[in-house]
Each structure stands twice: as structure tokens, then as C-alpha cells.
Amino acid sequence: MKFLGLKKVRDGKYLKNYELFYENKVGKLKTYEIVSRKELNAPEDVGRHVSGVSVVAFQGDRMLLLREFRLSINREIFNLCAGMTEAGESIEQCIRRELYEETGLRVKRLIALLPPSFSAVGFSDTRTHIAFVEAEGEFADHTSDNEQIRARFYTRQEVRELLRTEEFSSRSQIAAFYFAAGIGPEQLMSLA
């Protein structure tokens, strides 16, 4: 595989569409479509930028999950608190802001921050961190008029039932599965 170049097809408010030109393993010229949250000017820009964070939050022996409506699938799903960094914002500031905006909660302690990983490699170069935090405070809605989010802490047993009966985003499903299996903040500390 040989990456030959790229061209911006559309410049949206949050996502930019690109065509990537490449030579496949048998020498045939091909085009691949992606979206990016960042401006891409050259092949080396693809996948280079970190966009934001997903937050796995705990309070005692309960895990935070959001029930939110997502337009891209036209339904509510269970998800993690997540968002994109703003200009000049550190990843730690982003974690605190997103948790507060989406739930009203505050970060009591940052348990672990994983290196950036790719969120949707089939169609995007978006990279985000995954943060594990201990949260405190009371729930309050600070979301924009364009977000519909209900936040709640769930016990392991409640999460087990949700995993059998509800739909999740991929990252939240993985985090929920491990939490339901007994991996919580105390075990994460030994890994950090």
C-alpha cells in the first residue's frame, strides 16, 4: 500500500471530508473517503492530531453512564462522557469541562489517562484519550440545546442487565463490560 495524496472534498463545521489517493498492494490506483476533525494538508497529517477524550467515571462502586440521543443513529444509546478539546485547552482541562458540562459532576481524582487511540478507523483519523476518573458532586444539566443527555451512576448488577438489554457505543460497551466483570477504579490504580 502506498499513500499518494489527499484532497479536501467538503469543509463542514465539525468534520472535514477528504478523498485519499493510494496504490493498493497489486499496484492499482484507488480512492478512499474519510472524515477528520482536523485540517489535513499532506499525507503525514492523517492520524497525527489528538481531538479529545472519553471519560470513564466512577463514584464509589458505581460507574457513570450517559443515556443520550445521537442523531447519527436516530436513537438513544448508552455512552461515556466525551468531547473535543477547545483551542488552547489541555486534555486535563477538557476532561474536567466535559464531565461538568454533560453531568454537572467534578473530577475528584484522575485515576489514569491512556495514550490516544483511534476512534473509528474505518472512516476517520480521529484520535482521543480515554480518561478514568473518580467523580464527585451532584448531577446538573449544563448541556447545550443540541444535546439530550441523562447521566446516572450504575451498580455492577445494573450494568450487567443493561449490557443484555440496551445498545451502547463501542467504547462505553467495553468499559461497561469490564466494570460489570469486576474491574473498577481500585484495579485500575494497579495498572496506572
pLDDT tens-digit profile of 146-161? 899 999 999 999 999 9
Mean pLDDT of the chain: 94
What's the rounded Cα separation, in Å, for the pair 39 and 165? 39
For residue 51, what pLDDT band results from cuts at 50, 70 and 90? very high
Q: Cα torsion for 167, 170, 98, 85, to the nearest 10°?
A: -140
For residue 141, what pLDDT band results from cuts at 50, 70 and 90? confident
pLDDT, position 144: 86
* Residue 190 confidence (pLDDT) above 80: no
β-pair partners for 112: 132
For residue 186, what pLDDT band results from cuts at 50, 70 and 90? confident
3-state SS, residue 128: strand
What's the rounded Cα separation, in Å, for the pair 47 and 3? 13
For residue 188, what pLDDT band results from cuts at 50, 70 and 90? low
Q: What is the mean pLDDT of residues 113-135?
A: 95
What's the rounded Cα separation, in Å, for the pair 7 and 120? 20
Q: What is the mean pLDDT of residues 57-72?
A: 96
Terminal Cα distance for the chain, rounded: 36
Q: What is the mean pLDDT of residues 97-110?
A: 97
β-pair partners for 176: none
Tell me the pTM: 0.92
pLDDT, position 107: 98
* Residue 189 confidence (pLDDT) above 70: no
* Residue 75 confidence (pLDDT) above 80: yes
- CA quadruple 174, 176, 177, 182: dihedral sign: positive
pLDDT, position 71: 93
What are 136's three cell numbers?
464527585
3-state SS, residue 178: helix
* Residue 59 confidence (pLDDT) above 90: yes
